[in-house]
Amino acid sequence: MHPMLNIAVRAARSAGNLIARTIGQSENFEVAQKNKDDLVTSIDKQCEKMIAETLFKSYRDHCILTEESGVLGNPDSEYQWVIDPIDGTTNFVKGIGHCAISMALRHNGKTEVAVVFDPMMDEMFTAARGEGAFLNGRRIRVSSADSLDGSIIGTAFPTRHRDRMNAYLEIFTRLINNCADIRRMGSASLDLCYVACGRLDGYLEQGLKEWDFAAGELILREAGGLATDFLGEPNYVKSGNIVSGNPTMVRNLIKLCDPQSLDAILR
Ligand code: 2AM
Ligand code: CA
């Protein structure tokens, strides 16, 4: 295993233990509202601290970008970790057992290794660039679905961009009329991993931040999948608007978003 992946797995497991011990027990942690409908807990911060300490112990000169603390360490380092200590914080607070630790390592801007760990399911998704994607050590691949007909698609409502809700709901209506069913699970990094291992045939969401998708995107790519923005361009990294699946499903999903809805989403 790539040595940096090894360290990341270790850091994710230790933070995962804390998450599994405290999930849903809001009497044992503090909850604050960062923005409307956007929560953070003292466990997010504790996990972040644990992970940063583990990484800095081995890689003192690296930079870490985290959701809750911003930039830590050497901002000029060639190595940058992009970390979400709890992806799916609302699920965590509510005691819904679906959340993950997401960690990606970029070298000169290119993602080299990725870990997404679901401590409730004890599922460790990993990837190193060019070496495939794995779930608990077993190789994973995207589904081979080639049509929306019969497919299960993951998505999320743009609750933090309510100005886009009507446009999104038009896409949602077309989606539910054309696929078998939809899942809205609440953790973007796990959504991407679920596409990577074929549990979902596709997934689309808007307005994500890089810690939500940095790790899941490499895992997805190494599993034969593709992520684009709503126009099929690689610009999702900037916009956070992401469409994913095997290449055929991405094409099918993009076709479903008509220009009028897209106009509102891309504004
Ligand atoms: P979080 O739990 O780390 O906040 C839910 O649809 C997904 O959106 C989760 O992955 C969630 O991550 C993410 N999310 C939550 N708040 C967000 C925000 N303000 N901007 C972008 N993504 C967010
Ligand atoms: Ca988070």
Determine the 3-state secondary structure of 250 from DSSP: helix
Separation of alpha carbons 146 and 5, rounded Å: 32
Ligand 1, atom nearest to 156 Cα: 6
Taking residue 187's Cβ as centre, other Cβ atoms within 10 Å add up to 28
Please give the structure tokens belonging to residue 227. 């992520």
Q: What distance in Å separates the CA atoms of residue 60 and residue 266, rounded to the nearest whole number?
A: 40
- pLDDT value for 83: 98
Centre of ligand 2 from the C-alpha of residue 44, in Å: 7
Q: What pTM was computed for the model?
A: 0.96
Question: Within 13 Å and on the Cβ side, how many CA atoms surround 34?
Answer: 13
Lining ligand 1 with CB less than 6 A are 38, 67, 84, 87-89, 156, 160, 186-188, 207-209, 212
Nearest ligand by distance to the CA of 239 = 1
d(CA 12, CA 103): 8
Tell me the CA–centroid distance for residue 160 and ligand 2, in Å: 14
Phi, psi of 134 (to 5 degrees): -135, 150
The pLDDT score that the predictor gives to residue 37 is: 86
Judge contact between 81 and 97, C-beta under 8 A.
no
Q: How much distance in Å is there from the Cα of 178 to the middle of ligand 1?
A: 26
Probe residue for ligand 1, chosen from 40, 45, 208 as the CB with the greatest number of ligand atoms within 8 Å? 208
pLDDT in tens, the chain (267 residues): 789 999 999 999 999 999 999 999 999 999 999 888 889 999 999 999 999 999 999 999 999 999 999 999 999 999 999 999 999 999 999 999 999 999 999 999 999 999 999 999 999 999 999 999 999 999 999 999 999 999 999 999 999 889 999 999 999 999 999 999 999 999 999 999 999 999 999 999 999 999 999 999 999 999 999 999 998 999 999 999 999 999 999 999 999 986 666 666 665
Beta bridge partners of 87: 100
